[in-house]
Amino acid sequence: MPLCQTYIGIQARPRAPLFHSFFQVIALPSSFPRPELPEPFRPLVAGYQWNRDLLGQSDSSIFLLKAPDRPMLVLKLEEAGPFSEFVDEAARLDWLASKDLPCPRVIARAFGAETNWLLLQAVQGTDLASTTLSPKDQIVILADALKQLHALDIANCPFDHRIEERIAIAKARTQAGVIDESDFDETRLGRTAADLFAELQAHVPQPGELVVTHGDACLPNIIEKNGRFSGFIDCSRLGVADPYQDIALACRSIVHNLGEEWVQPFLTRYGLDKDDSEKRDFYCLLDEFF
């Protein structure tokens, strides 16, 4: 992998040992070739055991770095390009941390012409798709975490993810041919991205209230530790949007992981008096483009 040429920033070494268990990993032997790291990253990861994450569904490569009595780190790399996400993710993690909401801490970052890199300090705990907590406890943590995020002042959030902005990006991704049509939800398999985009444009809902949303509020992206909310991960799509951006994907994830019967308890805990199924359908359709 080509060495990234432009180094952007590095932060202090992590202090407290942290760990998490929401990855499916394979340990890499010392003989396994590692990517050629940007120079400033090398002392930060010296002495760590490398593990490759096999669970993530993104286009990036993810490595978990472990060492005795040291924090677990997450090393992420992606091909640089018009639709790469690490610049967005780093900016959003910095902003979210400034609001005292738990999330991975950016230890180092490097953005270049060919490759982008992020080195993160892992969040403690287990994701809600992997936890042994009861479904009731899971939906309480999920609903309360989203309420906390949605309560932030949108005037202080510089990231615009309103419908018009997201549709424009969906159109650009469709025209660029980067949509993985084999990854569509089961009910949409066999259709083209262009076909789905036409459907998306025909069903744009009326604008509603605006809140700070996570953007991909599925159970694997919410972390718990000892039965309490521990942090958000995969925050590259965080931004100001309709709360249904999160509600829709949360409900879809609940159905997949816990069962349809837990959707209404989640909505009740969140405080939604009247569900809008058409908005939920729209935001699930919009998610096919990302």
Question: What are the catalytic residues?
Answer: 216
The amino acid that residue 149 corresponds to is L
Does the CA dihedral 41-58-19-231 come out positive or negative?
positive
- Intra-chain end-to-end CA distance of the chain, in Å: 25
Q: Which residue pairs, CB below 8 angstroms and at least 24 apart, start in 141-145? A: 141/222, 141/224, 141/227, 141/228, 141/229, 142/217, 142/219, 142/222, 142/250, 142/254, 142/266, 143/266, 143/269, 143/270, 144/229, 144/269, 145/222, 145/229, 145/232
What CA–CA distance (Å, rounded) separates 223 from 10?
25
Task: Report the residue count for the chain.
Answer: 290
Q: 3-state DSSP call for residue 200?
A: helix
> Partners of 119 in the beta sheet?
75, 108
What CA–CA distance (Å, rounded) separates 112 from 84?
11
